[in-house]
A and B are shown apart, each in its own frame.
Chain A
């Protein structure tokens, strides 16, 4: 690891203010009792079925994401700054998407290279010249944020496509409330439980203009074998809306309708957790069984809102990411509040050379990758792994970006031997509707459970923590 990292509890020399009340409580706890509580939490998660399926695992066993009982705590002022930065960023991203699919001013101005967009698979020509209701493209955004110091926050990734994990934010809080009710009477933590209500309101506010009465909202899932199925059913349940699959849907009189026990019922807003490619076999992948044939025609006719809109993935792209501060400034006219991590675009020959020469110190990622797959963490890789990766890099340089290995902040986790620092990141969730941006105070804190590890992805041995934003 490079240098020393910032610990969010212990700070550089003394216990940081947001953790003071918690530390006081923790010091009075008995380790054996906490261990027992940790076991109870796991049993609760299993019984409730808060599990995920790991792709590519033969036994297809359902796994739990390990939950750590020490909260990650942010002060209200830290949060306010973050929230402001996220709001600015998601407004910028929505303006960017609207522009890309309509006038393309940012390309003409030369701020973002045309090539990056034209060669991007996530850019959908089918969306050109079409404006979704209220001009909102990405309604639900999960912005991955890392921290390296007292005031050093960076955006690591913009998940503008279909961010997941919000159910863990909600269940983690629920678990903490059940395990340690006394903590919440001592320490004033801002609520996250309004999220499902806010989500439904935000989706309803995004309904097509011609929708009459209360909009009918549904969640579209690929089905029970999808890794995030639990979240899909949880959100539908919490919002009080139907959870549908592709075969429940068909086009009826120019609208998308779902098959109910009483006949077909028209849907106004579809929160889809199915990838673009599978959304409509008539427009995209003809083999898809997961989508609704004809939904794109209905969409373009203005008779349904698809959230997030098809084609938002172009803003998720890691090569586009490197331009995000410019993009935000281009549309908002303000400097970006949240910083980017320094990013080397391997498509540029000089940069590629630098990256290859410094592979052992960099993190290299696929431009379109996600979930922590297909990446190289230089400092943790062997010489052979680096050499192997260098080959891939040279073969397809434009497919990669590289970033310096950040000294991610740590938050302690609970172990048998007491508290031990582990690296974390943070994914707050922003809801965007034509009228407003709403960000619930909190988010999903992912933690690398292995000592020294920087990989927080749940598919690669990461865990989660409850995230507290304190009241003033």
Chain B
């Protein structure tokens, strides 16, 4: 396979994952701002911060509200992280690697792009927002379904998965980091209304609102939520799940190519940091510090994958 093709697959799936994550973030922000929060501006600000778009946003707008934040994140072509921009980038990458995709995957991505560019042509009024967000989630599921259902489990598939997992790990770590203050075991806040709202946002942002209840016998409290999002391998957006699956996929590639790479070593090291950890020790290390190092490790693995498999040179 061409290095460029591997890179195209990897980025295509990073962008698709990003579109879905952004949609979910907006959904969570929208819900909280609408129903609970006494301070919607700070809720919307944290959405912008989580999307790593604060600089670009602040350059363009003064202050945070639902209409401007959703417009910026959904359809602003000047924001390279908007759903519009990343869907276009995903589709450009799909065109680039078209010879590596099944017809089903290609059609799903192309259709997603056609449908969403049409939907995002005009500003989305609040009344239509749920429908548009549902469409993004739906299209994302369509592409994922086509990938899982029709692609050969070979290196092509592995590069798609790597893109998804790196992006997802980055996203989950970022979401927890933005809300980390709500997870700190602080005696004065425990059980307060404030905490409950923040926890709900957090869980909704990673589609874990219900699965947390299924998976956790614990009470609805900070350490158990943090443990679930960071360490629970059953949860497909947790850091432990992403790291474990990343190692699995890099191992498939290593076997396939008969070559153990540096990126595999790095991913294994990251996996070891999460394995057998209990949440208390992470709090002792400092949650924010812990998450920052996870974010930088993830970025490092991403760059190492690009180098190991010759995406660009």
Contacts and interface: CB of A to CB of B under 8 A. Distances in A.
Do A and B form a real pair? yes
Contacts of B5: 242
A331 interface: no
B30 interface: no
Contacts of A242: 2, 5, 99
A233 B95 CA distance: 8
Interface stretch (B103-111, B122-130, B169-177): B103-111
Interface in A271-315: none
A128 interface: no
B42 to A, nearest CB: 39
Contacts, number: 55
B114 to A, nearest CB: 7
B95 A247 contact: no
A261 B155 contact: yes
Interface string A225-245: 000010001001100001111
B234 interface: no
Contacts of B110: 47-49
Nearest to A240: B99
A261 B99 contact: no
A260 B4 CA distance: 8
Given A233-B98, A237-B99, A248-B4, A261 B106 contact: no
B96 A259 contact: no
A261 B111 contact: no
B99 A243 contact: yes
Size bin of chain B's contact surface: 20 to 34
Size bin of chain A's contact surface: 20 to 34
Contacts of B95: 49, 224, 229, 233
A237 B5 CA distance: 13
A261 B107 contact: no
Nearest to A250: B313
Contacts of A392: none
B185 interface: no
Nearest to A241: B99
B3 A261 contact: yes
A262 interface: yes
Interface in B1-51: 1-6
B111 A262 contact: no
Interface in B57-101: 92, 95-96, 98-99
B258 to A, nearest CB: 9
Given A47-B110, A49-B106, A49-B110, A261 B6 contact: yes
Q: Is the interface of B mostly helix, strand, loop or mixed?
A: helix
A83 to B, nearest CB: 31
Nearest to B103: A48
Contacts of B98: 49, 233, 237, 243
Max chain A C-beta neighbours (<10 A), residue from B95, B111, B155: B95
Nearest to B4: A248
B99 A236 contact: yes
A248 B3 contact: yes
Interface string B226-246: 000000000000000000000
Max chain B C-beta neighbours (<10 A), residue from A46, A224, A263: A224
A355 interface: no
A65 B229 CA distance: 50
Contacts of B111: 47
Contacts of A229: 95
Interface string A19-49: 0000000000000000000000000001111
A156 interface: no
Contacts of A263: 310
A207 interface: no
B257 interface: yes
- Sorted from nearest, which 3 A-B pairs have the closest CB atoms? A237-B99, A261-B309, A233-B98
6 contacts: A49-B95, A233-B98, A242-B5, A248-B2, A248-B3, A248-B4
